[in-house]
Amino acid sequence: MKILAVHNYHRSGSASGDDQVFRAETALLESHGNEVIRYTVSNDDFDSAGFLGKLKSAFGMLWSGKNYRAVKKLISTEKPDVVHVHTFFPLLSPSILYAAKRCDVPVVATLHDTRFICPCSTSLRDNKLCNECGDGHYMRMCKFKCFKGSGLQSFIVALIFKYHRIRRSFYKQIDRYICLNDNQIKLLTDIGFDGNKITKKYNFVPDADIEAGPPDGLPERYAVFFGRIGEEKGIRFLVKAWEDLDIPLVVMGGGPLEKEFREWAGSRENVYFLGFTEHRKCIGIVKNAEFVVFPSICYEGCSMVQLEAMSLGKAIVATDLGFSKESVKDEYNGVKFPLGDQEAFISKVRILWDDPQRCLLMGRNAREEYMRKYMPEDNYKELMAVYESVTLTAKAGGTK
């Protein structure tokens, strides 16, 4: 099968989950003999542009004629069986959906976040869950400066999404939505998306079950956090909670709160902040941890952090929210705590720390859960089933 895979990369150095999934899925498809044509842009292009270039890109978020023409030409030349769109915002714009549909090629879209409900993609306002814009009244974004804390940028984004809401771009121009968890499906169907066009398919990670010796400079026993050092990942929640914990914590990753977190970690004898850590070294450190903490305050799609932790046989302490609701089975492969409940989080961490045998048992269960649900080969079969379904429908005239 020939697949045109389309994606808007985040900035260089970002370990964003959708970037990882795009690379992994396209490589997986090719490893099975499929032909993959990639059409990608990067937010680095926006960063390196001058004032006029940035202004042009801002208007291009509404409709990018450049990317519309490029995708249409690519389809005409390559004649793919299906177009698979991952992230299109901000630079690609929804114009690429129209390019595919006007060429009568079925469109599959993986929804890595809640962008169709919340234009900011996080479903957070002032660090609290918010899905109010699911009703289409996006102008409230301006009042709360939801997009990057800017009233002007929020106004521009609100206009873009209002325009495409009126045109029903996200309802009509996509033939199949790949959702990553049940919560995501409910959020979409609640605002009128056709449930018959939705398929749930988890992400996957290659088996990371490696042998790793004790890491240099770290204590013999420790808990670990690895991932983006950002507000939505519960970093400030983690800081406040660990003020009351004397358990060693190793933290790896980078992000907007990195400087602030580094300063705090430097004042704590039991916190080891390693910053960005090369992947193989990172998973070796995770492999030696007692358990993984995952205090995210946002809806996670299908967390790559959790999948890697499970592949390594690690129990997870996670917020009972989004993907974690179904990925973490309480007292089986980890433990959950209510969103924002610091006391519950501290209690769960202490219980696991004081019972290494329980950690080992949950870790074995986590490994089994990974092998049942998140292996590459199973994911490939599910993805191909989606492609075959939409291409058959297209041949029957169902995409026009």
pLDDT digits (tens, 9 = 90+) for 253-263: 999 999 999 99
For residue 48, pLDDT beyond 90: no
Instruction: Give the DSSP H/E element, type plus range, for residue 2.
Output: strand 2-9
Give the SS3 label for residue 285: helix
- Helix residue spans in the chain (DSSP H): 17-31, 43-48, 51-60, 65-78, 95-102, 140-144, 151-166, 169-172, 182-190, 235-242, 258-266, 279-287, 304-311, 324-327, 342-353, 356-373, 376-395
pLDDT band, very low/low/confident/very high, at 49 (cuts 50, 70, 90): confident
- How high does pLDDT run on average in the chain? 94
pLDDT of residue 33: 98
Q: What is the pLDDT of residues 61-96, one digit of tens each?
A: 899 999 999 999 999 999 999 999 999 999 999 999
For residues 273 and 397, the model is more confident at 273
Kindly tell me the sign of the dihedral angle through the C-alpha atoms of 212, 269, 229, 365. positive
pTM of structure: 0.94
For residue 398, pLDDT beyond 60: no
Please tell me if the domain spanning 2-204+376-395 has the same topology as the one spanning 223-373.
yes
For residue 57, pLDDT beyond 80: no
Give the SS3 label for residue 151: helix
CA 382 from chain centre, in angstroms, equals 19
Sort strands 124-125 and 128-129 into parallel, antiparallel or unpaired: antiparallel
149-158 long-range Cβ contacts below 8 angstroms, 24+ apart: 156/58, 156/61, 157/61, 157/119, 157/120, 158/119
Where does 277-387 show beta strands of DSSP type E?
291-294, 315-319, 334-337
Buried b (16+ CB within 10 A) or exposed e, 132-156: ebbeeebeebbeeebbeeeeebbbb
pLDDT band, very low/low/confident/very high, at 331 (cuts 50, 70, 90): very high
Cα distance between residue 364 and residue 369, in whole Å: 9
For residue 15, pLDDT beyond 80: no
pLDDT of residue 14: 65
What is the arithmetic mean of pLDDT over 270-281?
94
What is the arithmetic mean of pLDDT over 284-293?
96
Of all residues in the chain, the percent with pLDDT exceeding 70 is 97
Domain ranges in the chain?
A: 2-204+376-395, 223-373
pLDDT of residue 282: 94
For residue 161, pLDDT beyond 50: yes
What is the arithmetic mean of pLDDT over 43-67?
80
Label residue 5 exposed, middle or buried (CB < 10 Å: 0-12, 13-18, 19+).
buried
What is the arithmetic mean of pLDDT over 217-234?
96
Residue range 223-373 in CATH 3.40.50.2000: yes
Sort strands 82-85 and 107-110 into parallel, antiparallel or unpaired: parallel
Q: Which DSSP string corresponds to 338-368?
A: -TT-HHHHHHHHHHHHT-HHHHHHHHHHHHH
For residue 213, pLDDT beyond 80: no
Cα distance between residue 166 and residue 126, in whole Å: 28
pLDDT of residue 51: 72
CATH of domain 2-204+376-395: 3.40.50.2000
For residue 169, pLDDT beyond 90: yes
pLDDT band, very low/low/confident/very high, at 50 (cuts 50, 70, 90): confident
What is the arithmetic mean of pLDDT over 336-364?
98
Interhelix angle for 65-78 vs 95-102, to 10°?
A: 30
Q: What is the pLDDT of residues 94-105, one digit of tens each?
A: 999 999 999 999
For residue 315, the cross-strand partners are 291
Give the SS3 label for residue 189: helix
Residue with the two structure tokens 């302490």: 317
Sort strands 107-110 and 124-125 into parallel, antiparallel or unpaired: unpaired
